[in-house]
């Protein structure tokens, strides 16, 4: 049974501590060791016209017959392949099934799953490359290599289309893939970057700005060259970030033979993109290659409501492993005098790639990839970032880091289960409850020789103490989408719901599944889930009891019974809220007797739809129940 009735707070308002509006960057120390000033070359400022206007009048049919183009691309070189292969036997010999995560403590918050639902399928492309964003207004955009879908935060399906149908433009004739989507909280809009083509002649970066805060109102689209240097390159593995006034798209340029050439950063003024006007942009190339080349740079957007700037921070690692990472600082907006500075920073725990992960029922393994940084955000002087790495004997684990900008120090912590499971493709989001709180939630994928590919989440608290990980969605089968070894992740989606009264994180991850009505078996589906668990400054949700509230019948046709239990004599309030958290009706406010109490309410003139019944005292939420009202 889905956990649609799990306890969660639905009253929607901005956190008192949330960072709003424009925020300044913290300056790294001057004359720091291992700094390179002017570490990239800037292009001229250019302009590009509107490419198209995407309307959402017609949604595609999710179960329509599709062309099975099944493709997968190797995303690392022979040197990394050799490292992975050298560890394979040791990993195989060390396998001991276990469910005990030795690094977990009882100090961190245990994640809890709220609304969750099945989303994107993988019928055309692999790996899924899940990306997702959630707006203040409660719209969810979830994308994978097949296409894009919209939901609201109650899990109601709103829209789906394959990428070719989404853009519906005859100028796009090649494969469309590698989506990244973010929510720009300061502008209250969505932004997407999607790639087109895998040759120098066809390579484009498709940039999409939502026309409003509702993605159903459509998007303005633009194209940038995937071969901006005209050096026979094509663009791969995008990153996407947003600052006060700009968006940033990063990528790796490869030769037509598949050899890595260099990394590139597009710096784009965002205001005109939201209005459908010509957008101005420039790009940075020839990034400094000391002590190792720039590769898969990850922009760090603000982890809370608002944005920061001018410019933005980015981070990158060495995909083959190292004990250092690189911080990149675009120092100013395009309208100012920007330059790119690079800092090399030691990490307390080295990282390195691991062999592929086994899965039951097949000899085909899941590709754990390399050690590029997966995801990052900036908050209160820190960059939080994650990658995966060998935690011993060739087993993959989460490698979580906090980089302090003011002194360029880096704190690392790893999490996993050496000898039993691979923890792969992590994504991190702020789970802060105050301006100084460093807590995060990390979504990731897990598999082993005894476990189908699944989605999980773990909390790392302010003091870098880990919770135990929590299952989000279990795998239903092994993956055999391609012949031979399987592409697995590339990345997992995660986003914080900024204007929730308590920390709320949404994630989108892939799990092994079949789609029998399409004759597609042993592929991936996407599971989207809301994650909560932290104590609010005003209301302690963690004290809630599972059986404290019962609402029946459900669905409701004429009247509804509310059965609740209280332990002490204190004032109790029962409210009816809509799916956006707005108070619809105060049902009850009194001081009932301790023990079990039963109340009955007539639905009256309430419209058909989904609502939430919330029972609370002055100190805590007792429980929250989702109900459906029919005419």
CATH number, domain containing residue 583: 2.60.40.3080
The domain total for the chain is 2
Interval 134-184: pLDDT, tens? 998 999 999 999 999 999 998 999 999 999 999 999 999 999 999 999 999
CB 332 within 8 A of CB 245: no
How many other CB atoms are found less than 10 A from the CB of residue 436?
9
Residue 334 forms part of a structural domain = yes
Residue 47 forms part of a structural domain = no
Answer with the one of 507, 532, 557 that is the final residue of a domain: 532
Mean pLDDT of 70-86: 71
Interval 323-356: pLDDT, tens? 999 999 999 999 999 999 999 999 999 999 999 9
* Same domain (yes/no): 551, 519: no
Lay out the sheet containing 157-162: strands in order across: 131-134, 139-143, 147-152, 157-162
CB 589 within 8 A of CB 598: no
Mean pLDDT of 194-219: 97
* Same domain (yes/no): 432, 577: no
Quick one: which of 212, 113, 213, 218 has its CA closest to 155? 113
Average confidence score pLDDT of the chain: 86
How many other CB atoms are found less than 10 A from the CB of residue 516?
7
* Same domain (yes/no): 145, 217: yes
Structure tokens that stand for 626 in this block:
């989702």
Structure tokens that stand for 519 in this block:
């004759």
Higher pLDDT: 30 or 380? It is 380
**With bands split at pLDDT 50, 70 and 90, how would you rate the model's confidence at 615?**
confident
CB 603 within 8 A of CB 560: yes
* Same domain (yes/no): 519, 587: no
Residue 2 forms part of a structural domain = no
Identify the weakest region by mean pLDDT among 47-51, 110-114, 392-396, 433-437: 433-437
Higher pLDDT: 90 or 528? It is 528
Residues forming beta bridges with residue 532, ordered by sequence position: 112
Mean pLDDT of 407-417: 96
Interval 3-38: pLDDT, tens? 332 323 222 223 333 334 457 798 898 878 789 999
CB 415 within 8 A of CB 111: no
* Same domain (yes/no): 97, 223: yes
Question: What pLDDT was estimated at residue 618?
Answer: 67
**With bands split at pLDDT 50, 70 and 90, how would you rate the model's confidence at 435?**
confident
DSSP string, 119-170: EEE-SS-SS---EEEE-TTSEEEEE-SSEEEEEETT--EEEEEEHHHHH--T
Question: What pLDDT was estimated at residue 61?
Answer: 59
DSSP string, 226-282: S-TT-SSEEEEEEEEEE-SSEEEEEEEEEETTS-EEEEEEEEEE-HHHHHTS-EEEE
Higher pLDDT: 539 or 498? It is 498
Residue 270 forms part of a structural domain = yes
DSSP reduced 3-state for 312: strand
Find the length of the chain: 631
Residue 193 forms part of a structural domain = yes
Question: What pLDDT was estimated at residue 619?
Answer: 61
The angle at the Cα of 109, spanning 463 to 154, to the nearest 5 degrees, equals 130
CATH code for the domain of 509: 2.120.10.10
Residue 50 forms part of a structural domain = no
What is the DSSP pairing of strand 396-404 with strand 382-390? antiparallel
Residue 453 forms part of a structural domain = yes
Structure tokens that stand for 489 in this block:
């992740």
Structure tokens that stand for 315 in this block:
């981070």
Helix (H) or strand (E) holding 86: helix 78-86
Identify the weakest region by mean pLDDT among 369-373, 390-394, 555-559: 555-559
Answer with the one of 497, 532, 567 that is the final residue of a domain: 532
**With bands split at pLDDT 50, 70 and 90, how would you rate the model's confidence at 502?**
confident
Tell me how far apart the terminal alpha carbons of the chain are, to the nearest angstrom: 25
Question: What pLDDT was estimated at residue 363?
Answer: 94
> What whole-number distance in Å separates Cα of residue 360 and Cα of residue 110?
28
Is the pLDDT at 66 greater than 50, yes or no?
Answer: no
Question: What pLDDT was estimated at residue 79?
Answer: 83
Q: DSSP letter at 593? A: P
Structure tokens that stand for 131 in this block:
């990306």
* Same domain (yes/no): 390, 247: yes
The angle at the Cα of 43, spanning 40 to 48, to the nearest 5 degrees, equals 135
* Same domain (yes/no): 528, 550: no
What residues contact residue 116 under an 8 Å CB cut-off, 6+ apart?
Answer: 2, 3, 4, 155, 472, 473, 527, 528, 529, 530
* Same domain (yes/no): 554, 521: no
Answer with the one of 483, 503, 532 that is the final residue of a domain: 532
Higher pLDDT: 447 or 82? It is 447
Question: What pLDDT was estimated at residue 62?
Answer: 57
Mean pLDDT of 98-124: 84
pLDDT > 90: what percent of the chain?
A: 65
Is the pLDDT at 572 greater than 90, yes or no?
Answer: no
Residue 110 forms part of a structural domain = yes
Mean pLDDT of 271-281: 97
Question: What pLDDT was estimated at residue 583?
Answer: 79
* Same domain (yes/no): 456, 549: no
Question: What pLDDT was estimated at residue 264?
Answer: 98
* Same domain (yes/no): 300, 355: yes
Higher pLDDT: 580 or 484? It is 484
* Same domain (yes/no): 523, 549: no
Identify the weakest region by mean pLDDT among 67-71, 476-480, 585-589, 600-604: 67-71
Mean pLDDT of 293-302: 97
> What whole-number distance in Å separates Cα of residue 244 and Cα of residue 25?
11
* Same domain (yes/no): 442, 566: no
**With bands split at pLDDT 50, 70 and 90, how would you rate the model's confidence at 582?**
confident
The angle at the Cα of 188, spanning 182 to 190, to the nearest 5 degrees, equals 30
Question: What pLDDT was estimated at residue 211?
Answer: 96
Domain of 582?
A: 544-629
DSSP reduced 3-state for 101: coil
């Amino acid at each position: 049974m889905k956990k649609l009735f799990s306890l969660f707070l639905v009253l929607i308002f901005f956190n008192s501590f949330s960072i709003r509006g424009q925020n300044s960057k913290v300056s790294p120390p001057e004359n720091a060791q291992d700094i390179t000033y002017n570490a990239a070359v800037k292009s001229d400022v250019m302009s590009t016209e509107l490419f198209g206007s995407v309307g959402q009048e017609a949604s595609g049919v999710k179960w329509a017959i599709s062309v099975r183009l099944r493709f997968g691309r190797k995303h690392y070189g022979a040197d990394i392949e050799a490292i992975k292969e050298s560890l394979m036997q040791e990993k195989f010999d060390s396998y001991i099934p276990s469910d005990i995560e030795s690094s977990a403590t009882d100090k961190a918050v245990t994640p809890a799953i709220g609304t969750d639902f099945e989303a994107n399928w993988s019928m055309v492309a692999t790996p899924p490359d899940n990306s997702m964003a959630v707006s203040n207004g409660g719209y969810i955009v979830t994308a994978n290599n097949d296409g894009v879908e919209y939901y609201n935060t109650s899990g109601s399906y709103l829209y789906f289309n394959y990428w070719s149908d989404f853009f519906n433009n005859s100028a796009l004739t090649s494969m469309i893939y590698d989506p990244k989507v973010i929510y720009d909280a300061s502008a209250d809009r969505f932004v997407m970057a999607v790639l087109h083509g895998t040759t120098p002649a066809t390579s484009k970066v498709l940039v999409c700005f939502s026309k409003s805060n509702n993605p159903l109102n459509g998007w303005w689209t633009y194209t940038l060259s995937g071969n901006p240097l005209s050096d026979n390159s094509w663009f791969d593995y995008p990153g996407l970030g947003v600052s006060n006034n700009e968006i940033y798209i990063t990528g790796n340029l490869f030769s037509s033979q598949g050899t890595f050439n260099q990394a590139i950063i597009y710096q784009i003024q965002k205001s005109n993109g939201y209005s459908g006007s010509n957008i101005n942009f420039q790009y940075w190339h020839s990034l400094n290659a000391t002590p190792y080349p720039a590769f898969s740079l990850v922009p760090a957007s603000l982890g809370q409501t608002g944005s920061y700037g001018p410019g933005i921070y980015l981070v990158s690692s060495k995909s083959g492993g190292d004990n250092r990472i690189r911080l990149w600082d675009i120092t100013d907006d395009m309208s100012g005098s920007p330059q790119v500075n690079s800092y090399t920073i030691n990490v307390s725990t080295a990282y390195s790639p691991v062999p592929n992960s086994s899965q039951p029922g097949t000899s085909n393994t899941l590709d754990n990839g390399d050690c590029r940084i997966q995801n990052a955000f900036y908050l209160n002087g820190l960059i939080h970032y994650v990658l995966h790495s060998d935690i011993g004997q060739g087993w993959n684990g989460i490698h979580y880091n906090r980089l302090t900008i003011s002194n360029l120090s880096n704190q690392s912590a790893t999490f996993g289960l050496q000898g039993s499971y691979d923890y792969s493709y992590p994504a991190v989001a702020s789970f802060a409850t105050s301006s100084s709180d460093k807590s995060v939630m990390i979504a990731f994928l897990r598999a082993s020789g005894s476990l189908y590919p699944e989605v999980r989440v773990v909390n790392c608290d302010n003091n870098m103490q880990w919770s135990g990980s929590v299952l989000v969605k279990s795998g239903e089968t092994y993956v055999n989408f391609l012949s031979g070894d399987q592409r697995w992740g590339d990345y997992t989606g995660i986003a914080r719901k900024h204007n929730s009264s308590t920390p709320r994180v949404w994630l989108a991850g892939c799990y092994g599944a079949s789609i029998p009505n399409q004759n597609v078996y042993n592929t991936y589906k996407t599971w989207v889930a809301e994650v909560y668990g932290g104590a609010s400054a005003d209301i302690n949700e963690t004290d809630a009891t599972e059986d404290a509230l019962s609402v029946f019948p459900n669905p409701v046709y004429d009247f509804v019974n509310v059965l609740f239990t209280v332990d002490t004599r204190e004032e109790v309030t029962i409210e009816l809220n809509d799916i956006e958290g707005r108070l619809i009706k105060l049902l009850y406010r009194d001081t009932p007797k301790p023990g079990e109490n039963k109340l009955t309410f007539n639905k009256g003139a309430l419209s058909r739809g989904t609502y939430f019944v919330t029972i609370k005292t002055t100190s805590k939420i007792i429980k929250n129940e989702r109900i459906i009202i029919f005419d």
